[in-house]
Structure formats: C-alpha cells, structure tokens
C-alpha cells in the first residue's frame, strides 16, 4: 500500500469506531480539514455576503477561495463557471429548468438507463413541461457497460441534449465520457454530466472531456453536503436563471438563489485541501511523470487522486476476487479483472439465501455498513429485473477502508450466502 492507513484514518474523526464504513457511494465520512474549515467559518466570519464590514468581507473572501479551488478541482477555465448549490439533485432540477427555456417543443433529449434518477427525472419532467421527446440509451445487463451502439444511434437523431453519468452509483461502471461527448457535440447536442460517483475516485477535467455542464456532490468526496456544478461560461451567461430580481444578473451569482451555505462552501475547500495533502504526503512516486502534464494546484490534486486510485486498485481487486469466489452470490457489473480501470470500487450483488434488506440488516448488526435497494438507480434495478425483489446489496470502498475491513466484509457475506 502506498498510504499509511492509520494516518489516513486519523484524518477522519468519524472512523474512530470499530465498524466498517462500506456505505461510501451513499456518502463518505468527512475529513478533518473540511470540518475545520466549517468550524472556522462559523467562528471567524459568519455573515451574509456583500457587506462593507469585516466578517462579511472575510466570508466573501473564503467563498472566493472555495470557488477557485473547485474550479481547479474540475479544471474550469474560471471560478465564474462554478455554481454551489444544495446538492446535485437540486442543482439539476434548477439548471434543467433554465436549459429548458432554450429548447423547443419537439426537440429530443437523450438519457441513459445506467444513470441515477437525479440525472433522469429532472429531464423527464422538463420533457413533459416543454413537449420534448425522450430517448433512452440502454446498458448491457451482462457487464453493466453503456450500450455505445445505441448511444451512436440516439445521437444520429440530432438530439438537443444528452444527460449522461460519468460513473454508475449501482454498478460502478465508468463511462467513456470523452468519446461520448465528442459524438454528442458532433450531433449538435449539449451534454450534462453527472459526475457524483466519479469525483471521489479520479481527477475530473471538464476542458479535456469538453462537457457543457458537470455536477458533483462534496459529501461523496469527504466534504459536507453541498453540490458543485460546472457550466461553460458562455452557456451560463446565455441561460436565464430562475431568480429574484435584485439578485446578480451574471453567473455564478444568478444561479445561486437565496442566502448561500457559505460554511459548506468553506467545507468544500477543506475537502479539496485534503486531496492536496494526500498529493503532498504520498504523491512522490507519481511526480516525475505527472509534472510533465500538470502544474500548480492541479498537479497536487492530480497527485492526491493518483494516490487514491492506486490504493483503490488493490481494494477493488480484493473485492472483485472475493465476491466472485462466493457461491450462491450473483455479482452485477464489470467482473473482468483486467478491466478494473473501467470501474470504481462499487460492487452490487444479490444472494440466493436472503433479500438485500435482510442481508444489509444482518451485516449492519455485525458492524458492516452498506446499502440495499435501488439507490435511486431505478432504471438499473428495473432493467436487471430486481426492482420487485428488493434491488441489490451495494458495497462501496474508499481509500480509508483497510484490507482488514474488506476481508471482514467478505467473510461475513460468505457466511450469509
């Protein structure tokens, strides 16, 4: 292992208990640097924005710093392309309304069955409101990969918008988003990417993948409950926001309705500072190579994410091998060990011996925390024929999980199976 697991875990106060937190795709534990930023906000600069007094000025400066860090995290061209909001779902409902104003009745939007419902329902409801056609792209149920032939066919219809996930919250698949976006743009579609499940596992580059919108959620990457949306600046300027009249007329302010959750914006900054700490502390082995392509904070963040990727590779392989070895267990998604790079360490399965709810309850009592159900990946659960059977059991690792926890989980599941 490239990291010192005890040192890593000591950065997460909530991990100071004996249970195994394998519920990470549902939400990660918060890192100390983020907590400190949130506390610091309340203790030193709690005020509304835009005032001509010191606490308000300190608050505004901290929000600017957080926005700049988030822009670096996603490689936005400017902090003005970063919009903070309650969470991914709320941001998507709000942004889809604004996007809807530039679509016309009869336009087609393309969605995928591999997506979380937060990147489906807002668009379905928009389609209803605006008279749009909806086309779904399926995934391959055998391996949980997106059906790229269907995607190509859907794009050939010249849709106005494609909403696609970066990584599946149920099956762990990482979609080839750059290639998909290229195809979508060639067809003239705007692309809205849900990166909630990819953000904790790899460094996003909105300029490289060339998306128009991308959204993620800080509580999935060791920060507080707060959504972060990237939008291409010219689009953000062009879109009309649903806002009150005295609010700013330009992005990002026009999309950040009401009084901001400034303390959690500071908390996002603290979570990103943790990635930087990881890069500075454990990133040396990757430095020679990565410093050819990255510099400044992007380099440090990339080093941090590379540390995470390397660590998760070991954990993910152990989970995959272990789950494949358990009889009377059906594992869904990519199972090919040589394709670990195409998935995040999130695995979903069912047991012949009991329902997902019973398994999660029994594991919970044994101190193993994980989720059961459809995790709002409703289309996946339906497509796999599991929606009426209680869905799936989902285990999702983070770099702070120890191999001892993984082995404990595998032994417990084998017993249940």
Ligand X SMILES: Cc1ncc(COP(=O)(O)O)c(C=O)c1O
Q: Which of residues 104-133 bind ligand X (CB under 6 A)?
A: 116, 118
Least CB distance to ligand X at residue 197 (A): 4
> Hey, what's the torsion of the CAs at 141, 219, 402, 336, to 10 degrees?
20
Q: Interface with ligand X includes 194 (CB under 6 A)?
A: yes
Nearer to ligand X by Cβ, of 165 and 252: the residue is 165
Piece of 68-76, 191-199, 254-262, 305-313 that binds ligand X (CB under 6 A): 191-199
Least CB distance to ligand X at residue 171 (A): 11
Site string for ligand X, 144-183 (x = CB under 6 A): ---------------------x---x--------------
Q: Please check whether residue 197 is in contact with residue 166, taking contact to mean a CB–CB distance below 8 angstroms.
A: yes
SS3 141: coil
Nearer to ligand X by Cβ, of 59 and 121: the residue is 121
Q: Interface with ligand X includes 227 (CB under 6 A)?
A: yes
Q: Give the interface size with ligand X as a residue count (CB under 6 A).
A: 12
Q: Round to whole Å and give the CA distance between 266 and 400.
A: 22
CA-to-CA separations, 210 to 143, 224, 397, in angstroms, rounded = 27, 27, 29
Q: Interface with ligand X includes 96 (CB under 6 A)?
A: no
Nearer to ligand X by Cβ, of 116 and 399: the residue is 116
Q: Interface with ligand X includes 89 (CB under 6 A)?
A: yes
**Phi/psi of residue 193, nearest 5 degrees:** -110, 130
Residue 187 in tokens: 């067809």
Nearer to ligand X by Cβ, of 155 and 378: the residue is 378
Q: Interface with ligand X includes 67 (CB under 6 A)?
A: no
Residue corresponding to tokens 């394709």 = 339
Q: Interface with ligand X includes 271 (CB under 6 A)?
A: no
Q: Round to whole Å and give the CA distance between 31 and 3.
A: 16
Least CB distance to ligand X at residue 241 (A): 19
Helix (H) or strand (E) holding 30: none
Mode of pairing for the β-strands spanning 329-332 and 227-231: unpaired
Piece of 127-135, 193-201, 287-295, 408-416 that binds ligand X (CB under 6 A): 193-201
Helices (H), 192-251: 206-209, 233-238
Q: Please check whether residue 197 is in contact with residue 165, taking contact to mean a CB–CB distance below 8 angstroms.
A: yes
Q: Interface with ligand X includes 200 (CB under 6 A)?
A: no
CA-to-CA separations, 81 to 64, 193, 207, in angstroms, rounded = 12, 15, 12
Chain residues binding ligand X by CB under 6 A are 87-89, 116, 118, 165, 169, 194, 196-197, 217, 227
């Amino acid at each position: 292992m490239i990291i010192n697991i005890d040192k890593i875990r000591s950065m997460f106060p909530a991990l100071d208990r004996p249970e195994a937190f394998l519920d990470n795709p549902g939400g990660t534990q918060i890192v100390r640097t983020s907590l400190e930023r949130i506390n610091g906000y309340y203790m030193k600069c709690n005020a509304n924005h835009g005032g001509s007094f010191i606490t308000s000025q300190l608050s505004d400066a901290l929000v600017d710093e957080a926005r700049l860090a988030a822009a670096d995290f996603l490689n936005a061209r400017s902090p003005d392309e970063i919009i903070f909001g309650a969470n991914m779902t709320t941001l998507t409902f709000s942004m889809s309304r604004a996007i809807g104003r530039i679509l016309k009745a009869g336009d087609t939007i393309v969605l995928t069955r591999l997506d979380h419902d937060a990147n489906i329902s807002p668009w379905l409801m928009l389609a209803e409101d605006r008279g749009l056609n909806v086309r779904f792209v399926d995934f391959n149920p055998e391996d949980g990969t997106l059906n790229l032939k269907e995607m190509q066919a859907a794009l050939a219809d010249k849709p106005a918008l494609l909403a696609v996930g970066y990584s599946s919250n149920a099956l762990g698949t990482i979609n080839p988003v750059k290639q998909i976006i290229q195809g979508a743009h060639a067809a003239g579609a705007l692309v809205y990417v849900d990166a909630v499940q990819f953000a904790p596992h790899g460094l996003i580059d909105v300029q490289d993948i060339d998306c128009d919108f991308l959204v993620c959620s800080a509580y999935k990457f060791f920060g507080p409950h707060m959504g972060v949306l990237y939008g291409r600046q010219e689009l953000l300027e062009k879109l009309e926001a649903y806002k009150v009249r005295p609010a700013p007329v330009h992005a990002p302010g026009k999309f950040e309705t009401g009084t901001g959750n400034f303390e959690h914006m500071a908390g996002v900054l603290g979570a990103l500072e943790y990635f930087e700490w990881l890069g500075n502390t454990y990133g040396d082995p990757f430095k020679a190579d990565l410093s050819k392509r990255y510099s400044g904070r992007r380099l440090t963040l990339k080093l941090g994410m590379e540390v995470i990727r390397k660590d998760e590779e070991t954990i993910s392989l152990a989970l995959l091998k272990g789950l494949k070895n358990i009889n009377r267990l059906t594992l869904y998604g990519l199972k090919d060990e040589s394709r670990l790079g195409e998935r995040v360490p999130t695995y979903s399965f069912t047991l012949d011996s009991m329902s997902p709810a019973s398994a999660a309850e029994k594991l919970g009592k044994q101190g193993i925390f994980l989720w059961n159900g459809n995790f709002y990946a409703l289309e996946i659960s339906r497509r796999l024929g599991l929606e009426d059977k209680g869905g799936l059991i989902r285990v999702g690792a983070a770099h702070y999980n120890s191999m001892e926890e993984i082995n404990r989980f595998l032994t417990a599941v084998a017993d249940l199976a």
